[in-house]
Amino acid sequence: VIRCRAAVAWAVGKPLSVEEVEVAPPKAGEVRVKIVATGICHTDEHILEGSFPDVDFPVIPGHEGAGIVESVGEGVTSVKPGDKVIPLCLPQCGECSFCLNPESNYCLKCHVSEPQTVLPDKTSRFTCKGKQIHHFLWVSTFAEYTVVPEYAVAKIDAAAPLDKVCLLACGFSTGYGAAINTAKVKPGSTCAVFGLGGVGLSVVMGCKAAGASRIIAIDINKDKFAKAKELGATHCISPHDFKKPIQEVLTEMTGHGVDYSFEVIGRADTMTAALASCNMNTGVCVMVGVPASGSVISFDPMLVLSGRTWKGTLLGGWKMRDCIPKLVASYLEKKFNSDVLITHTLPIAKVNEGFELLRAGKSIRTVLLF
């Protein structure tokens, strides 16, 4: 058993508490990882707000981490102690019908199919003050040591800087992949991106990499416009500056709507606006933002009857165990620069400061270091 620090969420709406926790050794098929760095993603904020009713408290959040294998359980062959790894919040078991489908990046072991507040054997590896602490998505990267199933961890290049590539575990990969894999943005096309947080800016980078000629970035926080332009946005607009709905503004700007639109906020009203803003016949709208549990969307069916495509994306469409090592290799080859998304770096003891920066719209990504 290892004793270490972890940021524990004891209850909904309460600040995280940095505690000493005990982390049990890995069982068969499991890997214990020393987390070096982890990003704060908006999904972690959703846990603290209580937006996910299937998350049990107390829990250790965090799912955008990178670290080093400390020990492995019986039967683990793909990683060994000392390997640099990224724990995966979307597993890839390699055996289910989704994993065997080359066009799918879903896995039946994923949190949408089975709850992941304890490990697959229905027990936790975390205890604190004599109480069992729940896992989050099997990864719980706000703990200095965490235990994950082997199929929820990817070995990466030993040269990778862990305090930078941790973003590839969720935020960057989700946004970049939404443009490249899910929408399959074509060169010369027009794109609209709703929401300019870390994931939205990664969508902008993906659209630019795919060769889009116009990238219209939309946010009510104009402080984010400079960074969006630096990363490839050609226009930045705020819905607050117009008296008419934003979809009408975008249609006027482009003639017939954009070729591709991306909703990266997670709100029902902006999802329908994003759909309506793309070309009525050939437009593709991709849902990237995570809506609150129980959200319902009502929209005019003519919006899709005329030919639009409306689709969602899970972690940017990447098969995580296969693709994360390749994305890390691309990062090392400087094919993209996800470092520009990191605005703040804090020690784990200041985790609550990181969340305050997020809520105030002052950070894109805060990376926590152990």
CATH of residue 278's domain is: 3.40.50.720
Q: pTM, whole model, 2 decimals? A: 0.95
Note whether 15 and 162 are same-domain residues: yes
Last residue of a domain, one of 312, 328, 348: 312
Encode the chain in three state secondary structure: CEEEEEEEECCCCCCCEEEEEEECCCCCCEEEEEEEEEECCHHHHHHHHCCCCCCCCCECCCCCEEEEEEEECCCCCCCCCCCEEEECCCCCCCCCCCCCCCCCCCCCCCCCCCCCCCCCCCCCCEEECCEEEECCCCCCCCECEEEEEHHHEEECCCCCCHHHHHHHHCHHHHHHHHHHHHHCCCCCCEEEEECCCHHHHHHHHHHHHCCCCEEEEECCCHHHHHHHHHCCCCEEECHHHCCCCHHHHHHHHHCCCECEEEECCCCHHHHHHHHHCECCCCCEEEECCCCCCCCCCCCCCHHHHCCCEEEECCHHHCCHHHHHHHHHHHHHCCCCCHHHHEEEEEEHHHHHHHHHHHHCCCCCEEEEEC
Q: What is residue 166's predicted lDDT score, i.e. its pLDDT?
A: 98
Q: Would residue 78 count as lying in a domain?
A: yes
Instruction: Give me the percent of the chain exceeding a pLDDT of 70.
Output: 100
Residue 234 domain boundaries? 183-312
Same domain, yes or no: 70 and 50:
yes
Cα distances from 270 to residues 31, 238, 358, in angstroms, run 40, 13, 20
| 49 and 148 both lie in a single domain | yes
Residues 22 and 112 in one domain: yes
Domain count, the chain: 2
97 in any annotated domain:
yes
- Predicted pLDDT of residue 224: 95
Instruction: Looking at the structure, tell me whether residues 308 and 322 fall in a common domain.
Output: no
Same domain for 284 and 340: no
Q: According to the model, what pLDDT value does residue 116 have?
A: 85
The model's pLDDT over 164-196, given as tens digits with 9 standing for 90+, comes to 999 999 999 999 999 999 999 999 999 999 999
Do residues 327 and 272 share a domain?
no
Q: Spell out, as residue ranges, where the chain has pLDDT lower than 70.
A: none
276-319: pLDDT as tens digits: 999 999 999 999 998 887 889 999 999 999 999 999 999 999 99
Q: What is the pLDDT of residue 260?
A: 98
Residue 218 lies in a domain: yes
One domain, residues 242 and 292:
yes
Which of 312, 329, 361 finishes a domain?
A: 312
**One domain, residues 41 and 73:** yes
Task: Examine the domain organization and report whether 13 and 157 are in the same domain.
Answer: yes
Question: Has residue 177 been placed in a domain?
Answer: no
- Is residue 178 in a domain? no
- Same domain membership, residue 198 and residue 79: no
The pLDDT of residue 370 is 95
In a domain, 211, yes or no: yes
Here the CATH number for the domain that contains residue 353 is 3.90.180.10
225 and 270 fall within a common domain: yes
